[in-house]
Amino acid sequence: MLDAGTLPYVYWFAFLALGCAGIYYRNATQAADVRATPEFGAFQKLFLVVYLIMMMADWMQGPYVYALYDFYGFSKGEIGQLFIAGFGASMIFGTVVGGFADKYGRKANCLIFVVLYSISCVTKHFNNYWMLMLGRLVGGISTSILYSAFETWMIHEHKAANFPEDLMKSTFSLMTFGSGTVAILAGLLSTWLASTFGFVAPFDGSLVLLLAGGGVIFTQWRENYGDSNQGQAGSGQPAAIGSGFENFGKVWRLLQTNERVLLLGSIQSCFESAMYIFVFMWTPALEAGSRTAIPHGLIFACFMVCLMIGSKVYEVLVRLRPEEHLTRWVFVVASAALAMPILTSNSTAVFIGFLVFEVCCGIYFPAMGRMRSTYISGEVRSTVMNVFRIGLNLIVVVTLINIDALATDTVFLLCTLLLTVAVLCQHRLFVLVEQNSSIEERAKAGLDVGEEMDEITSSKADLTA
């Protein structure tokens, strides 16, 4: 029998699941896009199967990392050091390793992810601080690859096959929806494995998934590289050995000369750092206003359903307004949602705010993926995506180092401020896009826009050069 503290969350989960099913059914019954050919369907399925296997492998580890370290007898301070090392490795080494994907191959980079994350899983069998530290370091590098190389591979193959650009929105939406689905499944499976075989078992289950996904990548995926130098990288041949660091120079010049790319990086750093901080803080925020123990697994499931709802809401909203427009308001709502712990101590109100934030995350991920595919050159896309992660990892590391000295309200105020900066950056990006559209429309009408068109042409050259 469920206790009084758990029952309300059961109702919430049921309500959200029904809402998600309703939105999914509504979207599914809309007229199918006639441009979605069988070839596109096969390509999309091949990518999503691998991507979701890898995401499930990642999700299976999350709930039991802290529990395993605690079981091994490490202090809170030592556990904190291990977590910080993971984010630090992602910020420093992950940026370099992930950036090599553009020069030496996205498929190869994804296989490196499988190897490194598998090593991280194996280290969990050792009750040794330095062995576990090694696992956190290679795990941090793996995370950078997971959130860059797979998406970059998909975008390149989509464009190389000349599939309609708008169909990419469907893929990004399904990536987010599927991630929420496998997160719930991973939570259930990892709980069963841990309760049956011990805390290390979820990591063994993750290892099996990694190897299975790696097998599909090795046998079914083809290699692709950066888009420039068509006789070399664009033709499916790797760039010259030793040229990997050249991309970082290109990215630096791109950030200096192209405001839109710089704005995208700022938006990603602000939003995702707030999101990662939220992951650490939602438990104490909800526990502070609750008289009974909160059901962490059930609450996490509610969050994932909201993420899935957001991905389907994105499909509806993007038909009405472009991503540059709608994400401004998504960030406004997200900022207000994470301000709830500051405004009230009522646990229900705070919980609703967190649910709203997760819906915003579900809209953010496909929208950001689509904007990255539009504004970032294929030649350096993976490198740029990893450079974007430097800022968010730095913010998270600094926050975690000082987390014990910060009050809960102070941490959520920081999250709110970060999301406010994201609003301002997104608004600036929207203004730039609208200005360019207006100038191009006037040029088509035969009006004199010579200097303005020169600026647009130069900006577009920066995106592809």
Residue 456 and residue 439 in contact, taking contact as beta carbons nearer than 8 Å: yes
pLDDT of residue 329: 95
pLDDT of residue 146: 92
Distance between CA atoms of residues 159 and 155, nearest Å: 6
pLDDT of residue 13: 92
Q: Tell me the mean pLDDT in the region 373-384.
A: 81
Question: What digits encode the pLDDT tens for the residues 312-370?
Answer: 999 999 988 889 999 999 999 999 999 999 999 888 999 999 999 999 999 999 999 99
Percent of the chain, pLDDT > 70?
86
Residue 105 and residue 221 in contact, taking contact as beta carbons nearer than 8 Å: no
**AA identity, residue 35:** R
Tell me which residue has tokens 């059914």.
Answer: 25
Burial pattern 313-348, b for ≥16 Cβ within 10 A else e, equals: bbbebbeeebbbbbbbebbbbbbbbbbbbbeeeebe
Helices H / strands E in the chain, number of each? 19, 0
Identical fold between 39-236 and 245-465: yes
Q: Tell me the mean pLDDT in the region 254-280.
A: 90
236 has pLDDT over 50: no
Domain ranges, ordered by start, for the chain: 39-236, 245-465
Question: What digits encode the pLDDT tens for the residues 170-223?
Answer: 999 999 999 999 999 998 999 899 989 999 999 999 999 999 999 999 999 999
Q: Tell me the mean pLDDT in the region 370-379.
A: 85
CATH number of 245-465: 1.20.1250.20
Q: What are the two backbone dihedrals, phi and then psi, of residue 437, each rounded to the nearest 5 degrees?
A: -65, -40
425 has pLDDT over 80: yes
pLDDT of residue 230: 37
Q: Is the model more confident about 202 or about 397?
A: 202
- The overall average pLDDT reported for the chain is 85
Residue 181 and residue 21 in contact, taking contact as beta carbons nearer than 8 Å: no
Question: What digits encode the pLDDT tens for the residues 39-75?
Answer: 999 999 999 999 999 999 999 998 888 889 989 999 8
Distance between CA atoms of residues 189 and 186, nearest Å: 5
Residue 216 and residue 47 in contact, taking contact as beta carbons nearer than 8 Å: no
Alpha carbon of 254 to those of 95, 249, 261, 294, 401: distances in Å? 17, 9, 7, 47, 32
- Region of poorest pLDDT, from 72-86, 138-152, 204-218: 72-86
With 0-12 CB in 10 A as exposed, 13-18 as middle and 19+ as buried, what is 176?
A: buried
**DSSP code string of 142-196:** HHHHHTTHHHHHHHHHHHHTT--TTHHHHHHHHHHHHHHHHHHHHHHHHHHHHHH
Domain 39-236 has CATH 3.40.50.620: no
pLDDT of residue 445: 45
